[in-house]
A and B are shown apart, each in its own frame.
Chain A
């Protein structure tokens, strides 16, 4: 057994650097090994269980104002980038050392921020060795994060300077006005190959390719980014459906939350991954609200982050009444980068119709 269980001491407080905080992977396999680009043959056009998942190592945490950041890493990963409806594979490079991940959340409400400007400069002895803007990414076990594969010159301790924000989605509710500024933080990165090689490696030899998802990895002090179950969201649940294997729920709040201009009913669309309830960000959604022969609303929805709704898409409409029909249209599929098991989902996205 090579995996080391270096669990965080529970005493470490938010905002203090906490090295050696290893997340515990799901599955409990004792196997350890490098990331292999083995793929599921002919995967479904839906969320599916990948060939395997890997553990990740927490490197440290930091804060700036009310925002919190966690820096963690795993093996370099094959992943997919999206432009419009096109998907491209990012292959592993020999020089890639690790897959670096930044998790960001609001410290006051615990709300995870799945997309933002997030630019890192990795330096050592005052000299920058890597500078890049991270991709907004979805991973089954590593959740929503900002990440990329990174090539480091060798093992050792690096300073990772993070420039984060503004978040392009508007802040609402307790997050009104909280996401419009940029923040910065420095987190230490201890890179050692032995730590990396000791991370858990959990294959799914019998179930890979099935329509399911590996469970979120729990990390001490870091929210997984899961949205609450639909029934726990605020407001009136108008109905839900599925599009491109994303769960799409429509809710009506009696009034717009703080940070959202206008008078009327707030129509909130919560789009989430099946199984793990991660938000599906960087989509273009619009909605049509019909009342009999009348069109009450027919326009775009704005990506918004709310302390209870999390990341969602919303608009102010002139009331929602029994018998109304809400049609949610996906104008552009989520441009978020995907780890294995999410790369085929969320492309063929039909409208979702809900009758109130």
Chain B
């Protein structure tokens, strides 16, 4: 059950806590609080997109046309429970379980959005390799100053909904803990085929970080503003700073229509950010020195519209010069140096914050056509190439305030291959 409290807690606080705790009882309690009045999913599942990761059309958009992430999210990690390679019966059971979720909830931000992905460790059980059209290396450290634990679970399920009870319900249905979901019979679960080995929960959206700032990593002064969608106080995911879904989609081979997914877990340490740094420094290191100098960012940054104003202000091109002359470089500025030939970013962020273990965290879920695209973006963000007056972390974007603790790489196949695929499907 949610953490006991002496005082009444807000609905959204209750819901977030329920999602964090999980289980059938939390689901039931959360459902009672939220009482979502949702239609069921489509009768004809053939109407669903072949791209599992095609979420954008199903998300809300804000006044500037930015896609708005679903407010409650979870990443579930499973291992294949059987020996050797999955059987056709296993495959059929997993597919039926996933279809049960699709029948129960509409595929949108109020209903349920999910993807299912498979790790290099999963494909290692097969003799044949993945086709060359899929770039899926084992996870590794992506900066000389980090030492993450590589995730080796076989399967990852990313769940998202504006309703915490939908995220919880989907998880419980997958595990075979509930018989009906949104009034729809759950025809199958993954129980017996997949064993859950980890669950990471969280949230993104105005007010949620402020509600959950009583955690390690955020100072006691409750500095997170009510209008902040993320713990660090600024919005992200400006549409011009996101890769389009088309460009993160694998184009060729048997997994065409799929994508790759990087899931990292980061600790956020924001005592310095909120209690020692000032707004100028926060804007300079999150965005770009020009943004701080010109006062471009109001509040969480809604005033920026649909762009973080990187190229518009010449920020990426000035990174080296800023390291030398301004003594500080921005996170978005550095990252914006990694761009596709068409000028678009290489990765599509689907990240969310977390108060799991009563600790401020970030689960950085990113989609890209190949893991190499993520690695390139992360290397740009590291800024280890920069000379000048910036340190390895100090004044070097937001590296000072985060620790990467886990990394995992996954292939998110097209929907038709989402149930325990072989590496070389016919």
Residues of A with Cβ closer than 8 Å to B? 81-86, 88, 90, 93, 95, 115-117, 119, 128-129, 131-133, 135-136, 148, 151, 163, 165-168, 180-182, 184, 282-284, 286, 300, 302-303, 331-335
Contact = CB atoms under 8 A, between A and B. Distances in A.
Given A86-B280, A131-B269, A333 B392 contact: no
Contacts of B323: 284
B379 to A, nearest CB: 14
A121 B326 CA distance: 30
Given A83-B280, A88-B281, A129-B216, A283 B145 contact: no
A90 B275 CA distance: 8
26 contacts: A81-B281, A83-B327, A83-B395, A84-B284, A86-B281, A90-B275, A115-B394, A116-B392, A117-B391, A117-B392, A119-B145, A131-B269, A132-B271, A133-B401, A165-B144, A165-B145, A168-B390, A282-B389, A284-B323, A300-B387, A331-B325, A331-B389, A332-B326, A335-B328, A335-B391, A335-B395
A299 B415 CA distance: 55
A8 to B, nearest CB: 31
B392 A168 contact: yes
B362 to A, nearest CB: 14
Contacts of B198: none
A302 B387 contact: yes
Interface string B257-297: 00000000001010110011110110010000100000000
Contact of A167 (B271, B278, B392): B392
Instruction: Give the dominant DSSP class at A's interface.
Output: strand
A48 to B, nearest CB: 23
Contacts of B395: 83, 282, 335
B324 interface: yes
- 6 closest pairs, A vs B, by CB? A332-B327, A332-B389, A117-B392, A117-B145, A284-B389, A284-B388
B272 A148 contact: yes
B216 A166 contact: no
Given A85-B327, A86-B280, A300-B388, 13 more contacts: A81-B276, A82-B327, A83-B281, A83-B328, A90-B276, A115-B392, A117-B145, A119-B403, A132-B272, A302-B387, A331-B324, A335-B394, A335-B395
Contacts of B267: 131
Contacts of A168: 384, 390-392
A131 B403 contact: yes
Contacts of B278: 88
A282 B280 CA distance: 19
B389 A335 contact: yes
Contact of B144 (A88, A135, A166, A283): A166
Contacts of B272: 132-133, 135, 148
A84 B324 contact: no
A131 B328 contact: no
A302 B162 CA distance: 50
Nearest to A95: B220
A170 to B, nearest CB: 10
A136 B391 contact: yes
Instruction: Give the dominant DSSP class at B's interface.
Output: loop
A300 B217 contact: no
A83 B322 CA distance: 11
A90 B271 CA distance: 11
Nearest to B270: A132
Interface in B317-338: 323-328
A163 B145 contact: yes
B391 A115 contact: yes
A332 B324 contact: yes
B239 interface: no
B91 interface: no
B297 to A, nearest CB: 15
Nearest to B402: A133
Contact of A81 (B271, B277, B390, B392): B277
B360 to A, nearest CB: 10
Which residue of A85, A86, A302 has the most chain B CB atoms within 10 A of its CB atom?
Answer: A86
Contacts of B275: 90, 93
B199 interface: no
B400 interface: yes
B92 interface: no
B393 interface: yes
Contacts of B277: 81, 88
B252 interface: no
Contacts of A128: 216
B147 interface: yes
B358 to A, nearest CB: 11
Nearest to A135: B394
A332 B394 contact: no
A219 to B, nearest CB: 24
Contacts of A95: 220
Contacts of A93: 275
B100 to A, nearest CB: 39
Given A81-B276, A83-B395, A135-B394, A332 B325 contact: yes
Nearest to A79: B276
A61 B389 CA distance: 29
B406 to A, nearest CB: 15
Contacts of A334: 389
A97 to B, nearest CB: 13
A302 B275 CA distance: 32
A300 B323 CA distance: 12
Interface string B370-386: 00000000000000100
Contacts of B284: 83-84
Contacts of A166: 144-145, 392
Contacts of B281: 81, 83, 86, 88
Given A83-B284, A115-B391, A300-B387, A133 B400 contact: yes
Which residue of A90, A95, A168, A180 has the most chain B CB atoms within 10 A of its CB atom?
Answer: A168
